[in-house]
Structure 1
Amino acid sequence: MRPPSKWGRRSKRCLTLFCLGFAIILVIVLIGVFPIGWILFPPRLPSPHPPYPHQEPAVPADPHPDFTVDIYSDAAIGIYLWQHIFKASTTSKLGGSLLYGFHKVDGLSFRFRTGPALAATETITEPHVVLVVNGRTEGKVLRARQWLEVTARSPLVENVGLVLLGNEQCNNEWLLWYLESSKYKIRVVFIVYDSTLVDGKRVFQWPLGVATYRGFPLLELQTGDIVGQRRYLCHFMGTVYRNNSRMQLVKALEGSKFTEKCYIKTRYEWPESETEDSASDYLKTLETSESVLSPLGMNAECYRIYEALSVGALPIVEDQKSPGMCDSPYRLLKEFNVPAYFVADWDELETTLEYLASLSEEELLHQRHKIIRWYAKFLQQMRDRFVNVIKQTFIIQK
């Protein structure tokens, strides 16, 4: 047996030293390329299983986080929209001549401006604008046209919405030219009072609401506010026009056995504004009445219908068309099944009051509950309709 060659021993030693050197170099390279933590504690691969039930998935981001709509209100119905429907507040500026506010609803931010300081000479630089304007008379229409020209002149305005207090004879044909012209960028119109323009696609019916221009407050009555016996079975405080069905109402009340149980206060001239005493008297007597009589006025839809609903009183409404181009009175209220009693004429008043007088206190309380719940839900539905239509017309169809 031969002894090991010295060259074999040297070869083995060289191979060992080479392998050791290569291993040291490899370790140095790995440390230089990857953090030591990755080598010592390699990252775990994500689990293919869904999160445990108690782990809430991430909330998706708002797709339009910076979408802001600016509301310029040149009519009192803007206050009804902002304070009563949106339930938003305002801040006074310039000695009360300007009211403004901020509110966010369902991912949209709204900025609101109204007051005497707001003029149709404004320079509007916001891209998404809603104008609240009055179209009752020719003079009011002229001012509404001026506002539409303001938005048309601005190269920055992309979308325009309109909330219009329409003509009481339902003649709003002046608006057609603006709707047909792309210059004015009108995407949607919400119109008060019946109109043949309403199609539920671009033109929507909108509620008249309460008389905010006379200071009628936002009332959010709870159960404790409507319990207890109410003093008056019915209520009517308003202007009586000549050759109008209100004359028939007055005669029906004069011959009724329930006259002493109703609060009746009439006048023969319509005042632009109430005195502080008359406004206070109206609200106090309204809140203590079981029903409110709403005869046809210059238009079928009256403030007193919404004011009655807000205090839980049953509106007794004359179901007749207004003169002029009106076709579908109370369209919006009937669409939402308003808790009101409709009469064809005031000859039905006596039997209606007899029915109310026959109800127990418990039944009357149930009726009040039903009315205030309906009205609160109605305001919320109007808010949702407004916001959804703005989204549809300003964003989705853009």
Structure 2
Amino acid sequence: MIRSPGQVLRKVLLFVCFIQVVVTVYLAFCIYNSAFSTLKGIKSLPKLEDTQRYIQPQKESHQKVVLDFDIGKHEADIVLAEQEMRPHEGQEAVVQLGDGEGSGKQVRLRRLPVVELWSKAAIGSYLWHHILEGPESLDDNIQGATVGELQMTAFVLRYRSGPGITPETVPEDVRSLVLVVNGRTDEKVKEARLWLDHLQAQNAPPTTILVMLGNECHIKVRESWVSNESPNAMDEYVQSLLDSDLTLCPAGMNTETYRVYEALGTGSTPVVEEVMTKGHCAASPWRLLKRHDPPIIWVKSWDNLGKVLAKERRYSKQYKALRRLRVFQWYEWFKLRMRDSFVSIVTTSLLQPG
């Protein structure tokens, strides 16, 4: 029996459609299984451990308390102000109910204590925007300053940043404070000392956590550095991260670079040069990320990049799409852990009796 060309073409098309349906169902099952297993792994992660170390002050004496808290960019020294820890109890407000059921009754509302976060270093902006994901807007009262506020479970965190934030413009009725300053250069050290002197000179100095970006590594000033990129250049950079399966992160003047976190935030897999730069950096860079098993490709030398790219070419588009999803999910989980660690330290160090 001789089939017509139309019958043969019809059967071929039906067979192709059947194959497409099978492939689509298989890919959907793979994506669902991968996402479910990733979320299940995240839910089963161990409870956040308290990474604080306390040095108890002696009775009837003012003793400095030092805690170790590594927030990723550098190991920051968090130093409490030289004063006794005191409890910070929330204030209460009495509200008179109006018309309707229960009118005339008085209800006591407990106000959460306020913790101020003053940022005078880029790492403070990273903490507020990237880890805490807090809002920011221009301050109507102080020129060149920005403000933001987040309500946590046990306190309200109030953020202040910008060149307009100086010892003369910040409020003086603060009881709990997180101060982020820069100590990378002699000029920045002098500026940080002014902040500390200002706090100590107050009649009632706030209980303070000091986060200081230390002068730990070799610094080379580049006069051609562009401090303010144009919006087009920024959009182009972000789009390049979104379009890239891999993001190369070579070491600059320091081993660690913000590009790693920018890549993770877009789901791109960072390729990190695991080397030590000159200076007095700690012997184990990237220890915070490595502690949480990040989805990063580590290379000892860029001579090995060819092997990485050769392996990358063998991966399918479906695999790369799933990998991007896993990278993004991991970074969201990582930010939650960093946020919880920060909130835990603020709560136990500033809002509880010593």
In 2 relative to 1, CA 111–129 (structure 1 residues): closer, same or farther, beyond 3 Å? Answer: same
Indicate the residue corresponding to 1:310 in structure 2: 265
Alignment of 1:287 with 2:334, yes or no, is: no
How far apart are residue 388 of structure 1 and its match? 0.4
Alignment of 1:358 with 2:314, yes or no, is: yes
Cα separation, 2, equivalents of 1:117 and 1:96: 6
Q: In the alignment, is the contact (CA less than 8 A) between 2:199 and 2:206 conserved in 1?
A: no
Indicate the residue corresponding to 2:193 in structure 1: 145
Secondary structure at 1:396 match in 2 = coil
| Residue identity opposite 1:164 in structure 2 | M
Higher relative contact order (CA 8 A, sep 6+): 2
Equivalent residue runs for 1:220-299 within 5 Å: 269-299=224-254
Cα separation, 2, equivalents of 1:149 and 1:384: 30
Q: In the alignment, is the contact (CA less than 8 A) between 1:133 and 1:144 conserved in 2?
A: yes
How far apart are residue 164 of structure 1 and its match? 2.4
| Residue identity opposite 2:311 in structure 1 | Y
How far apart are residue 397 of structure 1 and its match? 5.1
Worse-matched range after superposition: 82-91 or 365-374: 82-91
Cα separation, 2, equivalents of 1:305 and 1:168: 20
How far apart are residue 76 of structure 1 and its match? 2.8
Q: What's the C-alpha RMSD, in Å, of the aligned pairs?
A: 2.4
- Name structure 2 gaps, 5 residues minimum: 1-109
Alignment of 1:92 with 2:48, yes or no, is: no
Alignment of 1:161 with 2:177, yes or no, is: no
Indicate the residue corresponding to 1:394 in structure 2: 350
In 2 relative to 1, CA 275–102 (structure 1 residues): closer, same or farther, beyond 3 Å? Answer: closer
Alignment of 1:109 with 2:64, yes or no, is: no
| Residue identity opposite 1:347 in structure 2 | D
How far apart are residue 81 of structure 1 and its match? 1.8
Question: TM-score, normalization: structure 2?
Answer: 0.63
* Structure 1 residue ranges, 4+ long, deviating more than 4 angstroms after superposition: none
Indicate the residue corresponding to 1:372 in structure 2: 328
Q: Considering only CA atoms, is the larger Rg found in Structure 1 or Structure 2?
A: 1
- Name structure 1 gaps, 5 residues minimum: 1-63, 172-240, 242-266
How far apart are residue 170 of structure 1 and its match? 7.9
Question: TM-score, normalization: structure 1?
Answer: 0.56
How far apart are residue 136 of structure 1 and its match? 1.9
Q: In the alignment, is the contact (CA less than 8 A) between 1:124 and 1:150 conserved in 2?
A: no
Indicate the residue corresponding to 2:291 in structure 1: 335
Identity %: 34
How far apart are residue 383 of structure 1 and its match? 0.7
What are the superposed Cα offsets for residues 213-233 of structure 1, whole Å, 9 maximum, x if unpaired? xxxxxxxxxxxxxxxxxxxxx
| Residue identity opposite 2:148 in structure 1 | G
Q: In the alignment, is the contact (CA less than 8 A) between 2:216 and 2:280 conserved in 1?
A: no
